Amino acid sequence: MGSGLKFVFVVFLLLQLLNFNKGNKVGVAYGKDATNLPSPDRVAQLVQSRNIQYLRIYDTDPQVLNAFKNTGVEFTVGVHNSDLPAFQSQSNVDSWFRNSILPYYPATKITQITVGNEVNESGDNSANLVVPAMRNVVSALKRAGLQDRIKVSTSLSFGVLSKTYPPSEGTFDSRFAYVLNPLLQFLRENGSPFMVNLYPYFAIDDSSLEFVLFEPSPQAYVDPKTGLRYDNMFDAQLDAVHYAIANQRFSLTDQNFGDMKTVVMETGFPSGGSRSPRDRHATINNAMLYNSNLIRHVTSGSGSRTTAMSGGDFQVMSGTPAMPNGELDVYIFSLFDENQKQGSEIEGNWGIFYPDMTSKYNLEFPRGGTNPSGRSWCVASSQAQNSDLQKALDWACGPGKADCSAIQPGKQCFQPDNLVSHASFAFNNYYQKNGATAEACNFGGTAKRVYTNPSYGNCIYY
């Protein structure tokens, strides 16, 4: 192993051992490029019933954001590539932020904003526009004091790499240096993750179906430069990204980015397709295998392995071979089939549910990820009338003797300054003090119980 590569690899391991595997997440991308999808209110019920705790949408659809108020589901919202020219103006971004984020936050738990999607594949000027747009979004967040609660990034395609095999030689395509250098600098400055879309399905022609599906395969191999063993294509692709990031340098600062978190914002497997040789693998059974094995791989520690190092064997757990104890967040594409997707037939067949909300196949999301204790909380219903909410809030903070000091001006739960947020905190305080019973979360029909902790930032719901 070359000295430079060996240094990068050792940095990977040391940083991740110090990280102690903070917790992995599996979410779902909720695309809406279809004419036959259920209403957002029904989708919210479906998502909660299936224990899906993380969603990505590609815009800031008000119907969706309203439907998920007080559910505890964490949201990544998006800005379309077509909006990037307008986002070069700070005043336009400020207006968008006031109208598209603040009315819903924190009742809708927005934690990430993706500015643009796969701009490296766009074929227009989006790649030049994305980082200035991201900086304007962060400026808007800073004015609201939310820059530490909502992270800003952009999701690139795997095509941003020019070399992917072996993973240790993962290299960014030099054609994209003009966007990668300022992007990585921005991510480092703002503590944001590097986001990438990974589709091992499209590598079946260069591999084997079993290797792509996380199944035992003779395709498994050891990286000749690191000694790391790869048992599936997902890990191999993601580590190629990790090494590409770690090897990226700025000519003036020589910064290293090997400890930057990476989030897989799209991955999945189609369940139907055309008659091309590769698309013959696009079946319901293979889609079920890929997604169920992915969930198991990410959440259960099934990625544990023994890594050969000088001085003896070293046991590492979860993550990928090069980032063994790193956080691994992935989003499965997609929630529903989308009948208006452009391109080949498989494009509309990535959903885990049919548009009528029936399951395409059995897929279980881990329970208790954000509520391992089984606790409940009481929050204001987004469907309640403001006049009824105000009366209930006045009663809770008055005769009900809830401690409402945290929602006073300047206190930790005052922002955002809106009725639903203030009522939610007061209702929960009363609820917890009075036995957390169903009767204690009534408030004239303006409240409801939830099972995901609604705390945010320094505002803690006890």
Angle at 290 between CA 287 and CA 294, to 5 degrees: 140
Calpha distance 58→76 (Å, rounded): 8
One DSSP character per residue, 265-325 reads EEE---S---SSTGGGG--HHHHHHHHHHHHHHHHSSTT-EEEEETTEEEEE-SS-SSSTT
Burial 3-14 (b: 16+ CB within 10 A, else e): eebeebbeebbe
Element housing 263 (H / E): strand 262-267
Q: Are 5 and 31 in contact (CB under 8 A)?
A: no
Calpha distance 165→228 (Å, rounded): 13
Q: How far apart are the first and last CA of the chain?
A: 51
Calpha distance 422→407 (Å, rounded): 6
How far lies 113's CA from each of 63, 162, 332, in Å?
17, 27, 17
Residue with tokens 């899906």: 52
Two structure tokens written together for 233: 């294509």
Calpha distance 131→310 (Å, rounded): 41
Q: Are 44 and 347 in contact (CB under 8 A)?
A: no
Which amino acid is present at 43?
V
**Which is it for the CA torsion 196, 197, 202, 203, positive or negative?**
positive
Q: Are 434 and 440 in contact (CB under 8 A)?
A: yes
One DSSP character per residue, 106-125 reads TTSEEEEEEEEE-GGG-SSS
Calpha distance 403→397 (Å, rounded): 7
- Active site residue ranges: 118, 266
Angle at 388 between CA 383 and CA 389, to 5 degrees: 70
